[in-house]
A = this chain, B = another copy of it.
Amino acid sequence: MIACLSSNLPNLHSTPTAPGQTTSEPDSKPQAQKLKSSPQLNRWSRARAVRSGRKLDRFGHRSPQSSVNFQVRDRDGVDLEPERISGGEDNVEAMEGKSIYMVSDGTGWTAEHSVNAALGQFEHCLVDRNCAVNTHLFSGIDDVEQLMVILKQAAKEGAMLVYTLADPSMAESAKKACELWGILSTDVLGPITEAIASHIGVSPSGLPRGAPGRNFPLGEEYFRRIEAIEFTIKQDDGALPQNLHKADIILSGVSRTGKTPLSIYLAQKGYKVANVPIVMGVELPTSLFQVDPEKVFGLTINPLVLQSIRKARARSLGFRDEIRSNYSEMDYVREELEFAGRIFAQNPVWPVIEVTGKAIEETAAVVLRLYHDRKHKCSMPRISKRY
C-alpha cells in the first residue's frame, strides 16, 4: 500500500536514479492514510463480503517496511493489535497483498480496464484470500519527474507497473527505469499501437488523451451518445411508455433483475434503452406489444438469487416487515418469475436472458450480440464500427 507521495517533487533528471536517491522520503512524514474502497463492481471484495457475512472496511496496514501509518484492520475489517502484524516480512506481505501501479499520461481508464480484466483470471486466489492485490491508478502523468517519483515508490514497495504512455519518451523512460530498478512492468498501449501503425501504415501521434492536439470537434456521435443517455434516464422503470417505439432496445423483467444498471451501461455505448418492469398483477403498457418485438429482451434470474438480492434491497430501503413483506418472500418471488415467464412465452420473439451470476457487462455483451445479430442477420454475431 502506498502513502501519499511527497508534495516536494525532487528535481530529478529524466534518466532514472536509484530509489534510495530520491529526496522524497514519505517515511519522514508519516500520515494517516485510508484506502478508499473500490468504487467499481468488484467481484473479489464482493465475494469476501459474502464469506465474511458483513460489511468490509478496506484499510491499509502498517508494515515495518511501509512508509506510512495506516489504520490496521484485517481483511474482514477486524481491528488488529500491532503485535499481530509485527511479524516477519512474509506475514506482513501476506497481510498487505501485492501492489499494482497503473500509470497513464491520459485518463488511465485503459490501464484500469485491462488490469481488472486480467485480475479476473485470479479470482480463485483473490476470493479464497490466499492473496490480495492493491491497485493504484495515477492518471494524467505527463511529466517525467512525476513518473520517476511514482516508479521509485513502486520499486520501494515491490509493486509491478502497468502503463499506458502515449508519449514515446515517457514510455521509454518508464521502460528504462523499470529495467534499472527491477520493476516488473507491462506496456498496455504500446504493442497494440505499434501493430495498428504497421497495419495502416501511419505513425502514431504520440499525443496523450487531453493533450491540446487531441481536442476533438463535437459531432454527430457525441450528441447521439448523450441523447441516448438522456433518453435512457427518462425511460427508466417503465416511465413514458408512449416513447417505447423510440428505443433501440427495451428490457423487461421483474424487480431486481438489473434492468436499470444494464440500461445505463448500454446507453453509455450509444443505445437508446427503455426498461419496463414486470410486476405481478400490474398490466404492462400496450405499447410494449406494439413495438418491433425484435428489440425487446426479457430478463430472468434464479429465484433464490433474486430473493437474496431483494432481501438486501428491502433492507437498504428500510422496508418494515408489515410493508411489502411479500417482496422478498419466496413464494411471491417464484410466482412473479412464473408470471414473467408466461409473458415471455406469449412473446416468443423476445429473447429471454438468464442474468443469474452475470455481471452487468456480461449481460450487456449477450444483449448486444443478439441485437447486432438480428440487425445483420448474421450467424456469427459481431459489432462493426467505422472510424
Contacts and interface: CB of A to CB of B under 8 A. Distances in A.
Interface in A244-277: 258, 260-261, 264-265, 267-271
B205 A135 contact: no
A184 B195 contact: yes
A131 B202 contact: yes
A220 B109 contact: no
A43 interface: yes
Contacts of A150: 380
A380 B5 contact: yes
A236 interface: yes
A340 interface: no
Interface stretch (A114-122, A319-327, A330-338, A343-351): A114-122
A221 B41 contact: yes
B205 A123 contact: yes
A27 to B, nearest CB: 16
A233 B210 contact: no
Interface string A289-316: 0000000000000000100110011001
A216 B46 contact: yes
Given A138-B380, A186-B195, A200-B131, A361 B107 contact: yes
Contacts of A185: 195
Contacts of A376: 4, 33-34, 36
A356 B214 CA distance: 12
A271 to B, nearest CB: 6
A173 interface: no
A109 B362 CA distance: 9
A375 interface: yes
A97 B387 CA distance: 9
A271 B387 contact: no
Interface in A5-38: 5-7, 9, 31, 33-38
Contacts of A286: none
A270 to B, nearest CB: 3
Contacts of A188: 114, 188, 192
Interface in A178-227: 184-186, 188-189, 191-193, 195-202, 204-207, 209-210, 213-227
A1 interface: yes
A75 B263 CA distance: 31
A123 B216 contact: yes
A313 to B, nearest CB: 8
A386 interface: yes
A35 B6 CA distance: 51
B107 A364 contact: yes
A356 to B, nearest CB: 8
Interface string A358-387: 110110111001001001111111111111
Contact of A31 (B5, B220, B236, B377): B377
Contacts of A356: 215
Contacts of A236: 233
Nearest to A1: B384
A144 interface: no
Interface in A107-138: 107-110, 112-115, 117-126, 130-138
15 contacts: A4-B377, A39-B228, A39-B383, A41-B221, A48-B219, A110-B114, A120-B209, A133-B196, A133-B386, A133-B387, A134-B384, A146-B380, A191-B191, A210-B362, A265-B268
List the 10 closest A-B pairs by CB distance, nearest first: A46-B219, A39-B270, A215-B357, A7-B379, A121-B204, A4-B378, A49-B219, A107-B365, A43-B216, A38-B385
